[in-house]
Amino acid sequence: MRTKLRNILPLLGLLGFGCGGTGVSPPVPRAEIGPHQATLYQLPENQGWVELVNEPEVEDRRVKPNTAVVVYFFQADRKTPLAPAPSDVRVDVNEGRNHIETLTLKAEPKVDDPAGGCRFASKLGPYLLEGLRGKLTATLNGKPVAQDFVAGR
């Protein structure tokens, strides 16, 4: 047992070296949850936040449902709809390493939802976010922005 410990201890010490690091892992950022109980992603250059959800919400995740990808855009407080609204909102949907489709989302504000003033929705299809990853692109204040996402509610 002492021989094993003697061989392991130097290796543990080496874990603190390499790549100029301190040997301490950075803290994992906590997930931000939005008003619709899905993951929030911050847009580049602090231009706001987005939340991606499926609507209608998927009850049985074992089958590919007929659902839309819906994106809510928020201001810095993560609750107030973004103003002015973006344009040219698209989602590139990937499953694993395979590109499935580029979805064009249309502005469909939801008046009965306080956070739904800047809501964009895709056509219905087999777009269960839980198993997808992709890239959201839009034009904000005349400038293109892009945000990668992994899974969703």
Q: Could you read off the pLDDT of 53-107 as tens digits, one per residue?
A: 999 988 877 777 899 999 999 999 999 999 999 999 999 988 777 778 899 999 9
Residue appearing with tokens 């047992």: 1
- In whole angstroms, give the CA distance from residue 47 to residue 24: 31
Q: Could you read off the pLDDT of 40-63 as tens digits, one per residue?
A: 999 999 999 999 999 998 887 777
CATH number of 24-150: 2.60.40
Q: Could you read off the pLDDT of 8-37 as tens digits, one per residue?
A: 434 444 444 444 445 554 444 456 899 999
